[in-house]
Amino acid sequence: MKDSVLIVGAGPVGLALALALKGSGLTPTLVDARPAGSENEDQRVLALAHGSRQTLEKLGAWPKTGWTPIEAIHVSQRGGLGRTEIRATEQGLPALGYVCPAATLTRCLAARAAGEGILVEQNCFIESSTANADHITALARDGREFDAQLLACCEGGTGSQETGLIRHDYAQHALIGIVTAQSPHQGVAYERFTPEGPLALLPFGGDFALVWTMSAEEAQRRLALADRAFLAELQNAFGTRARFLAVSGRTSFALALQARLNPVSERKAFLGNAAQTLHPVAGQGFNLALRDVWTLAETLAGAADPGEASLLARYAQARRLDRFSTVGFTDSLVRLFSNDDPLLRHLRGAGLFALDLFAPARKFIARRMIYGARAWP
């Protein structure tokens, strides 16, 4: 017996897709290479736009607790003039976004999926798949076979030998951790552009979640620093808008852009990191993935054959503008702001100053980050 959709990856993207498809009248089955309970080991912190909260609420999977609202975003650049602040009140919203542990969100989604009777096969690594006229067969490493009308790949990046990809190595690492400040953050997130890369501080409980981009060599050096020396360098890069007292949980990972030109192939759809991996600047990765999830579910709603080529082509076309504009937006921010070019520094300062004076421009940027291309006229 064939399932409607086989979803590879039971992380937050795969679970959200399963719930969205279940509400569309399809029969999703989830497989995951990890053992049960592995979501508790996920140390990531997600920045969820207000639009993503609305989607998760529609799925019945918004966590009741554990998240911190972002009420304002303060944007500045080190070594240059110009700053701006985007506030939720100016946009008529309770918050611009929310900071939530990935593990908390995954547990909420998993509980909701279990309540809907959605099956999850753990310890199941899919090694290959073969598309046929009316179905696709996926073969797991342990010999298990799965037949479905559509295979949705929701985890794992793109292969190094694959074609049809946008690729760029930023030659940067993201150093992440939890930072305690002297004064309450009051719901303010900071995005500070420095010559070595963006430095973001997100309100997280009573502390800040740090995402600091730099070269691989600097990341390794700073990971090895004692806390006091690390905080001194962070303070120097950030400035005086907050005073830092403690840091914990430091680690780092490499940053690169990889995006599929076409997020579908024969009886396959790619979502989440399997479709695009973005730089963390502006926190757009998971929010873009969730918009992919919702559009795919809407496109396939009630379909007798969710793997039909015309349906998948329609989905790819519907997501084209949002996907590529978001890829371009994040990539441009990194390229324009991660340098110390004097001319660009002055132009950036002028742009931030103009943005601070022109409320309609701030509203446009805010809505673009919150809702994606839906914000455009």
Whether the CA torsion 226, 229, 231, 237 is positive or negative: it is negative
Rounded to 5°, angle at Cα 371 from 326 and 176: 60
What is the C-alpha separation between 134 and 149, in angstroms, rounded?
7
Whether the CA torsion 141, 142, 148, 154 is positive or negative: it is negative
Contact 146, 6 (CB under 8 A): yes
Question: Which pLDDT does position 130 carry in this prediction?
Answer: 96
The architecture that CATH gives domain 170-256 is 2-Layer Sandwich (3.30)
Structural domain spans, the chain: 3-68+90-165+258-337, 170-256
What is the C-alpha separation between 229 and 129, in angstroms, rounded?
50
What is the C-alpha separation between 349 and 74, in angstroms, rounded?
14
Question: Which pLDDT does position 148 carry in this prediction?
Answer: 95
Question: Which pLDDT does position 333 carry in this prediction?
Answer: 79
What is the C-alpha separation between 355 and 83, in angstroms, rounded?
8
pTM for this model (two decimals): 0.91
Per-residue pLDDT of the chain (377 residues; tens, 9 = 90+): 456 999 999 999 999 999 999 888 898 999 999 998 888 888 889 999 999 999 999 999 999 999 999 999 998 888 666 678 889 998 899 999 999 999 999 999 999 999 999 989 999 999 999 999 999 999 999 999 999 999 999 987 655 557 788 998 999 999 999 999 999 999 999 999 888 888 999 999 999 999 999 999 999 999 999 999 999 999 999 999 999 999 999 999 999 999 999 999 999 999 999 999 998 887 889 999 999 999 999 999 989 999 999 999 999 999 999 999 999 888 887 777 666 666 666 566 566 655 555 667 677 777 777 777 665 54
What is the C-alpha separation between 331 and 72, in angstroms, rounded?
23
Q: Compute the chain's Rg from CA coordinates.
A: 21
- C-alpha of 173 from chain center: 16
- The fourth-level CATH superfamily of domain 3-68+90-165+258-337 is FAD/NAD(P)-binding domain (3.50.50.60)
What is the C-alpha separation between 106 and 12, in angstroms, rounded?
5
